[in-house]
Structure 1
């Protein structure tokens, strides 16, 4: 199901009249528009396999390996669930995200499924570069201490770990308050995918929200944005075109035939005079 002009026009109709407000920090910006995620995947060839009249949305990748489920009626705190099926060379994995995860931050993760980043840095690098506090080798917290990242070992005897991200209200002393949103990546999620999510999360640039959009917490700072509404729409359209081009390039790389090995040269007997 390719992304249609009508669907892009629907995004434009919603945002073209909304006065954008720069909202920060990102972990408190609220969910935003889920089409940052779904439009990007659709542009890369993901198709909807769910009932179009249902509140639940299920998208599946062209190779059928990845599936994304959005369920706003979920009985758990996870509204987004992303699964990868195992292959002959790679294990399957699972990740989930809470209701108030900012769509632009989650899109950092899904964009990496379309085309992995050219560099695969240590997932902690973007966090520490943004001034987050490293409490230990396996934990970090945002400057306001409301967002926590933990690389948690499965057991004291296992060398494998899963990633846990939680944004919570301020607590009492060392104990955090009620959870606002969470993200979980199991032990088999590729490190560069986690790194893409953390890069988008720790980015200091604000996210744009409408005047009455829901934020994650009342302490989120909102200021009138220098961007005009049409610039927000244009940025979305440009991102979609970029993802579409990256998906085409990735498919060409996958289907490119392997180079034919050069024929071996064998010694020839010397000609008789």
Structure 2
């Protein structure tokens, strides 16, 4: 089900009434509008498979291999859960993201998932290094303000998992956790690359006046963008992505459907 003009109009109705403020750093910017994520997937042909009257959203990819669950009333610290079922040639994997992860960063992961993979993916920490983050010999990256950390975790079976943590900048890495993100072992590394690249980008994101941020120490300045420009940027991005995703689906490729499993585990969630 593609994003409809009515849904884009609803996004516009929200943001045309908000005075935008340039907000940085991104790891402190707060969640933003979750439709920046769900519109990306809907534009790529993902469909809702959850209760339309529920408080949660579950979207499924056209091949039914991938699913995204958004559970804003979750009793855990993970509000977003991204899953991939195993196929005949690829393993299953899992990623989760906390409540205050910026929607712009999650949207970058969603785009990387639905568009063709880069032919030469980079080390995910390259973008952090280029943005001035400190990287030690263990492969741990700290943001310039020491309020966000990215860790590469080596698993016993030689696979790699990734853990990202934003915390109170006044208390250091051992202080109060503001949000987390986790890419489990075997999660595609180009998705991690997309997440880190968007997170470490020094360009500000826009938040409305009085909109929730992750920490009061965030920097906010009146944006040179008008509300209409903020809306237009989102609309143009979604329409362009819809065209690219449609073209990618029409290209022949390997089988990507999920492999048969003996006892599938249902998501057991409903839709907002």
The normalised TM-score by structure 2 is 0.90
Which residue in the other structure is 1:41 paired with?
Answer: 41
> Is the Cα contact below 8 Å between 1:20 and 1:208 reproduced in 2?
yes
Query: Superposition RMSD on alpha carbons, in Å?
Result: 1.4
> Is the Cα contact below 8 Å between 1:170 and 1:176 reproduced in 2?
no
* Deviation, structure 1 residue 30: 0.1
* Deviation, structure 1 residue 171: 5.6
Which residue in the other structure is 2:209 paired with?
Answer: 211
Which residue in the other structure is 2:127 paired with?
Answer: 126
> Is the Cα contact below 8 Å between 2:147 and 2:169 reproduced in 1?
yes
Q: Flag the structure with larger Rg.
A: 1
* Deviation, structure 1 residue 235: 0.2
Which residue in the other structure is 1:151 paired with?
Answer: 152
Aligned partners of 1:88, 1:94: CA distance in 2, in Å?
Answer: 17
- What's the secondary structure of 2:211's corresponding residue? coil
Aligned partners of 1:255, 1:7: CA distance in 2, in Å?
Answer: 31
Aligned partners of 1:123, 1:98: CA distance in 2, in Å?
Answer: 20
* Deviation, structure 1 residue 141: 0.5
Aligned partners of 1:214, 1:67: CA distance in 2, in Å?
Answer: 27
Aligned partners of 2:78, 2:25: CA distance in 1, in Å?
Answer: 22
Measured at CA, do residues 253 and 20 of structure 1 come closer, stay the same or move farther in structure 2, by a change above 3 Å? same
> Is the Cα contact below 8 Å between 1:146 and 1:169 reproduced in 2?
yes
Which residue in the other structure is 1:237 paired with?
Answer: 235
The normalised TM-score by structure 1 is 0.90
Gaps of 5+ in 1: 257-273
* Deviation, structure 1 residue 154: 2.1
Which residue in the other structure is 1:263 paired with?
Answer: none
* Deviation, structure 1 residue 166: 0.2
1:27 aligns to 2:27 (yes or no): yes
Higher RCO (CA-CA < 8 Å; seq separation 6+): 2
* Residues paired across the two proteins, number: 253
Matches within 5 A, 1:172-191: 172=171, 175-191=173-189
* Deviation, structure 1 residue 106: 0.8
Aligned with residue 197 of structure 2, among 182, 196, 199: 199
Gaps of 5+ in 2: 255-272
Alpha-carbon deviations, 1:161-207, whole Å to 9, x = none? 210000011365x6521100000001101111110110000001000
* Deviation, structure 1 residue 117: 4.6
Aligned partners of 1:175, 1:40: CA distance in 2, in Å?
Answer: 32
